[in-house]
Amino acid sequence: MKRVALAALAAVTACTEDVTAPGHCPDFCPSGSISGVDTVLQTVVQRDSAFRGFVRPHEANTLLAATLPGVIDSRAIFRTLPIGDSLVVESSTGAMGAIVGVDSLKLALTITRRDTSAHNLTLVYYRLPLGIDSTTTFGGLGSWTDSLRSLNADSVYALAGHVDALRDSVFVDSTTHQMTVIAKLDSAMAPFVPADSGQVAFGVRVMADSRASIALGSVESGLGPRITWFAKVDSLGKATVPRSASTGDRFDSFVFDLLSPSVDTTLDSTLAVGGMPVARSIMRFALPRAIRDSVQISRATLILVTARPPEGVPADSFTLAAHGVVADFGAKSPLSADVSRVATTRVHIGVARGDTVRIEMTDILRSWQIDTLAPTALALRQLPEGSEFPEIRFEPSTNTGLGPALHVTYVRRFPFGKP
Amino acid sequence: MTRPVVAAVLAAVLLTAAPPDRLTAQDSQFSVRGLGVPGRWESVRARTAAGAFGPFDPRSSVADVSLADALQLTATAVEATTYRRAEIGGTQDDLRSSRFPFMGLAGPVTRRVVVGGGFATYLDRTYSIVTRDSQMLRGAYASYTDRIGNDGAVADLRFAAAARLASWIAIGAGAHILSGSSRQTAQRVYDDTTFLGTTQTAVVRYDGFGISGSVALDPVRSVRIVGYARSDNRLRTRLGDAETDRTDLPTTLGAALRWSPSPSARVAGTAVWRSWSDAGGFNTTSWSAGAEVGAGPTPLRFGVRGGQLPFGPGTAAPTELGVTLGAGKGFSGNRALVDFGLERLVRKGGGLTETAWTVLVGLTIRP
């Protein structure tokens, strides 16, 4: 009995805590209250400017090919690595034999982005001179009339096994949705030139019933074009034997012709983002001291008004990022590696002039509150840069009423220490 | 060092090392407005007789003169676990908390002079209030939940001395350092998660000072009368280095009568007035009556108390009524005493009715 009584006493006197109760205001609520504010800061961006040239075509992760009448005509170009003038004919001894000819060549391209509503997606292949480089232009490559052949990827993919009679094949990765197109070129289309050690250069054009705009993987992304030579090799004077050799590309890029009269790559006072060469805009925020120092931000939204909408097909929609910078050096401002200082939104083809584009940047503003030494500047950029042709331009801060604004919802400092 | 001295030092260290913000006496919804709810400066022995024996109890810190009866080193601590129910507007909430509201140490320095000290709760300021509301944000009403909390108290650190001048008179005096802190929290969470929640916290510190004096008269052998007074200057509230508030504190006047008709029976009554209007509240008058029956190590105690609380809505002070029951048990030749009891309180004011059961456990060591 005594033990039971002691246990009961221990139970009712054990440390316990629950002091939370609904408030019955104002009689039984604290005198201070949490005060929320919702406001639009129209003049918070006080200096902004646009710069171009951040990613050039030969530096891009993708090779853009598009045939959009009246808008743009763009073609991928690349030059392969040499394979030498001989191949191993006897693997046990490593004996080499000279390449005396080729039977055929297979060219594999990876389409990383395409508009799945584009029908009869067709790749047209061109042989190009080996001298192509980063200075090569669309017009500098002539008229592009002598194509080697074309391959209708949709037709091949529709076949059983996705392989046609010419041994062309098309595969679609079910996870990444990337399409790999392997085209077979015979020795007439792709002769082996011993003096070039097997280097070849190709151009690729895309055609479709409509919306012909694709992105091909480049060597920078690890998905660049690959070729496989099927060669005839001298077997130490006895006969020729077939041998194959695969290689990637040494150089890839794309050339384009801007057809739209509305597309002007010349920068003006508007805030340009994207395009080719890639443009970025730097925005500098002058946050009110109270907001930077004394409040807690619940939500912050950057509001941008479109000055010039992007042109392209729906698949050309891109990600717009507001990226915090480590230091404000204008065009050369290094971007922050901190993911909390990156805010993104999707810009869809179809946005019209005067439409607003909103970017939720609560985390960025909170990071500015934490790190008061961080520059309150953002770089507006496309993600990833150089992977889309469309360029969007926003009204600058000099355009009163339409310039960038910040819609911020915050809670004021609670009046602690008051009875 | 001798064993009693070692024990005394250990007791002193243990008693004074406790964090002040756990010293809160008893949480109450009436602590939400104003400075808080006044604590009780009573041991379990005094509190289980409704506080009637507080001015006579050397283990309590109600009247410094009571130290004169601490003829040996004595250390006391109190643990209180309260189960509350707050009812207002047809709704009721059950709340609970455990506190260590009182610790004391006393012992003679000469044959006539006794010194003592310890911690007690001066004001309790622990609560957590949750409210629901909405605000027009970006063209639509956004509902949110606010939680405003305060966890802490103002502690009374007492240094006191008492002297028996003659067999019929004793006097006592004390100095009180008021110190404490509370961790305050203001949190807002929106139902719409696109709005991030906010949480603000701050540690608010309090300080003040007070003095007290008391006298005990024994006109006849079985009767003792105690009169006591205390004056506290102000409570200063600081947030960091900035003073955010300064409030005058009340003057306390009290009187008590104890009658011991036999060695195994004692009855007592007290009345206390405090000028809480100095602090923006209501002046309060409190009373208590209690009895202790049984001599030796296992007495039975009971009592009733009533009075007012200093802070509440409206034009009238909230009222408080309580009954208590308790007992004690001595061990090791009464060198260790365990007192325990039960207190039932009813507080009313401003439409709020708060009832509470408090389980009290006290430990006294006389090394």
What was the ipTM of the complex prediction? Answer: 0.79
Cβ distance of B131 and A29 shorter than 8 Å = yes
Q: Residue B21 pLDDT > 50, yes or no?
A: no
Q: Which residues of chain B are within 8 Å of residue A25 when distances are taken between CB atoms?
A: 131
What distance separates the 2 farthest-apart alpha carbons in chain A?
109
Return the pLDDT at A9: 63
Return the pLDDT at B190: 96
Q: Residue A21 pLDDT > 60, yes or no?
A: yes
Return the pLDDT at B78: 94
Q: Residue B47 pLDDT > 70, yes or no?
A: yes
Q: Residue A385 pLDDT > 50, yes or no?
A: yes
Q: Which two tokens stand for residue A136?
A: 């090569």
B 71-100 residues with CB < 8 A to A: 79, 81, 86, 88-89, 91, 93-98
Return the pLDDT at B147: 93
Q: Residue B19 pLDDT > 70, yes or no?
A: no
DSSP 8-state class, residue B7: H
Cβ(A91)–Cβ(A244) below 8 Å? no
* DSSP three-state, residue A347: strand
Distance from C-alpha of B330 to C-alpha of A267, rounded to nearest angstrom: 93
B 141-160 residues with CB < 8 A to A: 144, 146-151
The better pLDDT of the pair A387, B326 is held by B326
Strand partners, B52: none
Cβ(B140)–Cβ(B134) below 8 Å? no
Q: Residue A143 pLDDT > 80, yes or no?
A: no
- Lowest-confidence range among A248-252, B1-5, B244-248, B266-270? B1-5
Q: Which two tokens stand for residue A287?
A: 């946050």
| pLDDT confidence tier of residue B5, bands split at 50, 70 and 90 | very low
Distance from C-alpha of A154 to C-alpha of A115, rounded to nearest angstrom: 12
Q: Residue A36 pLDDT > 90, yes or no?
A: yes
B 163-202 residues with CB < 8 A to A: 184, 186-188, 190, 194-200, 202
How many residues in chain B? Answer: 367
B 292-351 residues with CB < 8 A to A: 312-314, 340, 350-351
DSSP A363-382: HHHHHHHH-TTS--EEEEEE
Pinpoint the residues of chain A covered by CATH 2.60.120: 36-55+264-411
Cβ distance of B128 and A13 shorter than 8 Å = no
Q: Which residues of chain A are within 8 Å of residue B245 when distances are taken between CB atoms?
A: 417-419
Q: Which of B51, B173, B171, B151 is nearest to B102 (CA)?
A: B51
Distance from C-alpha of A406 to C-alpha of A287, rounded to nearest angstrom: 10
Please report, as a single letter, which amino acid is at residue B233. N
Q: Residue A416 pLDDT > 80, yes or no?
A: yes
Burial (CB < 10 A; 0-12, 13-18, 19+), residue A277, is middle
DSSP 8-state class, residue A3: H
Distance from C-alpha of A370 to C-alpha of A337, rounded to nearest angstrom: 16
Other CB atoms within a 10 A radius of the CB of residue B217 amount to 13
Q: Smallest CA–CA separation between A15 and chain B, in Å?
A: 5
The mean pLDDT value for A375-384 works out to 93
Other CB atoms within a 10 A radius of the CB of residue B163 amount to 17
Distance from C-alpha of B168 to C-alpha of B201, rounded to nearest angstrom: 54
Q: Which two tokens stand for residue B34?
A: 């104003």
Closest Cβ–Cβ partner in B184, B198, B340 for A296: B198
For residue A82, cis peptide bond before it (omega within 30 degrees of 0): no
Dump pLDDT digits (tens) for B329-362: 888 888 899 999 999 999 999 889 999 999 999 9
Distance from C-alpha of B308 to C-alpha of B322, rounded to nearest angstrom: 11
Q: Smallest CA–CA separation between A298 and chain B, in Å?
A: 4
Q: Which two tokens stand for residue A175?
A: 């996870």
Characterize the bridge pairing of strands A62-68 and A72-80.
Answer: antiparallel
Dump pLDDT digits (tens) for A308-332: 999 888 888 999 999 999 999 989 9
- Lowest-confidence range among A333-347, B2-16, B220-234? B2-16
Other CB atoms within a 10 A radius of the CB of residue A73 amount to 20
Distance from C-alpha of B160 to C-alpha of B63, rounded to nearest angstrom: 10
Closest Cβ–Cβ partner in B98, B196, B280 for A16: B98
Q: Which residues of chain B are within 8 Å of residue A24 when distances are taken between CB atoms?
A: 88-89, 351-352
Burial (CB < 10 A; 0-12, 13-18, 19+), residue B133, is middle
Q: Which two tokens stand for residue A333?
A: 């401002």
Other CB atoms within a 10 A radius of the CB of residue B219 amount to 10
The rounded mean pLDDT for chain B is 90
A 258-297 residues with CB < 8 A to B: 296-297
At residue B25's C-alpha, the angle toward residues B20 and B27, to 5°, is: 110
Q: Residue B14 pLDDT > 80, yes or no?
A: no
Cβ(A1)–Cβ(B347) below 8 Å? no
Q: Residue A295 pLDDT > 90, yes or no?
A: yes
Cβ distance of B195 and A299 shorter than 8 Å = yes
Q: Residue B15 pLDDT > 50, yes or no?
A: no
Closest Cβ–Cβ partner in B95, B195, B361 for A21: B95
Return the pLDDT at A181: 96
Q: Which residues of chain A are within 8 Å of residue B131 when distances are taken between CB atoms?
A: 22-23, 25, 29
Distance from C-alpha of B179 to C-alpha of B176, rounded to nearest angstrom: 9
Distance from C-alpha of A270 to C-alpha of A395, rounded to nearest angstrom: 5
The reply to whether CATH 2.60.120 applies to domain A36-55+264-411 is yes
Characterize the bridge pairing of strands A45-52 and A36-41.
Answer: unpaired
For chain B, helix (H) and strand (E) counts, in that order, are 2, 18
Cβ distance of A28 and B129 shorter than 8 Å = yes
Q: Which residues of chain B are within 8 Å of residue A407 when distances are taken between CB atoms?
A: 138
Q: Smallest CA–CA separation between B341 and chain A, in Å?
A: 10
Return the pLDDT at A239: 73
Cβ distance of B89 and A30 shorter than 8 Å = no
Q: A319 in the Ramachandran plot: left (φ > 0), alpha (ψ -120 to 50) or beta?
A: beta
Distance from C-alpha of A176 to C-alpha of A172, rounded to nearest angstrom: 8
Note whether A32 contacts B: Cβ–Cβ < 8 A.
yes
Q: Which residues of chain A are within 8 Å of residue B246 when distances are taken between CB atoms?
A: none
Return the pLDDT at B24: 43
Q: Which two tokens stand for residue A107?
A: 């060219």
Q: Residue A263 pLDDT > 90, yes or no?
A: no
Note whether A360 contacts B: Cβ–Cβ < 8 A.
yes
Q: Residue A241 pLDDT > 80, yes or no?
A: no
Cβ distance of A418 and B245 shorter than 8 Å = yes
Distance from C-alpha of B283 to C-alpha of B275, rounded to nearest angstrom: 5
Return the pLDDT at B272: 97
Percent of chain B with pLDDT over 90: 75
- The pTM (predicted TM-score) of the whole model is 0.79
CA Rg, chain B, in Å? 22
The mean pLDDT value for B29-37 works out to 86
User: What is the extent of the structural domain holding B96?
Assistant: 3-365
Burial (CB < 10 A; 0-12, 13-18, 19+), residue B224, is buried
Residue A241: partners with Cβ closer than 8 Å, 6 or more residues away: A89, A97, A232, A233, A235
CATH number, domain of B268, equals: 2.40.160.60
DSSP 8-state class, residue A350: T
Q: Smallest CA–CA separation between A297 and chain B, in Å?
A: 7
Residue A117: partners with Cβ closer than 8 Å, 6 or more residues away: A211, A314
The rounded mean pLDDT for chain A is 89
For residue B4, cis peptide bond before it (omega within 30 degrees of 0): no
- Lowest-confidence range among A361-375, A380-394, B15-29? B15-29
Q: Residue B23 pLDDT > 70, yes or no?
A: no
The mean pLDDT value for A173-181 works out to 93
Q: Which two tokens stand for residue B180?
A: 């404490």
Q: Residue A4 pLDDT > 80, yes or no?
A: no
Q: Which of B361, B367, B281, B356 is nearest to B320 (CA)?
A: B356
Note whether A146 contacts B: Cβ–Cβ < 8 A.
no
Return the pLDDT at B6: 46
Q: Which of B282, B240, B209, B268 is nearest to B38 (CA)?
A: B282
Q: Which residues of chain A are within 8 Å of residue B79 when distances are taken between CB atoms?
A: 13
- Total domains present in chain B: 1
Dump pLDDT digits (tens) for B67-113: 999 989 999 999 999 999 999 888 888 888 888 889 999 999 998 99
Closest Cβ–Cβ partner in B27, B86, B138 for A38: B138
| pLDDT confidence tier of residue B233, bands split at 50, 70 and 90 | very high
Q: Which residues of chain B are within 8 Å of residue A28 when distances are taken between CB atoms?
A: 29, 32-33, 88, 129, 313, 350, 352
| pLDDT confidence tier of residue B20, bands split at 50, 70 and 90 | very low
Distance from C-alpha of B285 to C-alpha of B309, rounded to nearest angstrom: 9
